[in-house]
Structure 1
């Protein structure tokens, strides 16, 4: 696992921080010697959807790094002030311009080395009119047989799609969780 980037200055007052175990804690944290602010570093949530229509899923070809030009599910970083479902809906609208009905949470995947948790919801497409945003080159619907497996941007997308198509074949959609190592 790559080292966690270290905080150098207090976000509250700008003083260089010290690393030590605060009182009533059990691990080293960045602590400001001037204002005593304790700075925690926590994983980021990535939220998205698996938009589907009949036997197909909607993918977006990325127009940004990382993985520009590769295919992904519509997803991105959750913003403050929104729920995971609200963030997943927002990302789907921003990246694909797709109208969806949100369905249950589908996969929760820990990406420890990147300090992220990826949460994907199933989503039913309401129609086939799309208006992709600037982060997306194009959108397309793919059946399992036509899916560009070797051109997927992220392992969490691959794992989520593998679960989706296996569940679709079985006729039962469950909740999936796991770790990407």
Structure 2
């Protein structure tokens, strides 16, 4: 049986392109590197908001929304519901898109939904140290893991009583570049 040769890639600008890409030196295949999509939700039970204390890096020990990377072949809504279950054993129903954030420094797009618990039983999943339901005024603001968590919670509070609203984006002055 013939031995298969491992492909060899080099960084170069392919013909007709304007960016450095990983290009196979044998066949010209271009291995595009694209942003990662994060999906999550501001999940409520009545007036309370679900938060998860992270059991993993980055920002282990800090509070966050149930969220994570979208998987191949799933919708963003399905991914947000999966993340809520993985992180908080929470069964949720998505109400709509709350926000779409861009974080260029991390090459991320974050889609954050508004959702509610359909079963009040929650518990920490493998990526959470603990989970809790917080009144908005009792959120541990100084212990939030990421700026986008603060953005989502603040923007959620602005529209919590509205059925419809346009989806938010990064707040003014928050480009996500640093």
Q: Indicate whether the TM-score tops 0.5.
A: yes
The aligned residue for residue 153 of structure 2 is 161
**Structure 1 residues 82, 172: closer, same or farther in 2, change over 3 A?**
closer
Q: Tell me the TM-score normalised to structure 2 length.
A: 0.88
**Contact 2:12–2:23, Cα closer than 8 Å, also in 1:** yes
The aligned residue for residue 77 of structure 1 is 69
**Structure 1 residues 148, 110: closer, same or farther in 2, change over 3 A?**
same
Q: Tell me the TM-score normalised to structure 1 length.
A: 0.87
Return the offset for 1:24.
2.4
Return the offset for 1:122.
0.6
The aligned residue for residue 103 of structure 1 is 95
Return the offset for 1:158.
0.7
* CA–CA distance in structure 1, aligned partners of residues 20 and 58 of structure 2: 31
RMSD of the alignment, in Å?
Answer: 1.9
1:21 aligned residue (2, 13, 16): 13
**Structure 1 residues 169, 85: closer, same or farther in 2, change over 3 A?**
closer
**Structure 1 residues 172, 31: closer, same or farther in 2, change over 3 A?**
closer
* CA–CA distance in structure 1, aligned partners of residues 163 and 22 of structure 2: 49
Q: Secondary structure at the match of 2:90?
A: coil
Q: Secondary structure at the match of 2:115?
A: strand
* CA–CA distance in structure 2, aligned partners of residues 162 and 101 of structure 1: 21
Provide structure 2 residue ranges, at least 5 long, that are not aligned to the other structure. Answer: none
Provide structure 1 residue ranges, at least 5 long, that are not aligned to the other structure. Answer: 1-12
2:138 aligned residue (146, 152, 156): 146
The aligned residue for residue 83 of structure 2 is 91
**Contact 2:123–2:130, Cα closer than 8 Å, also in 1:** no
Number of aligned residues: 170
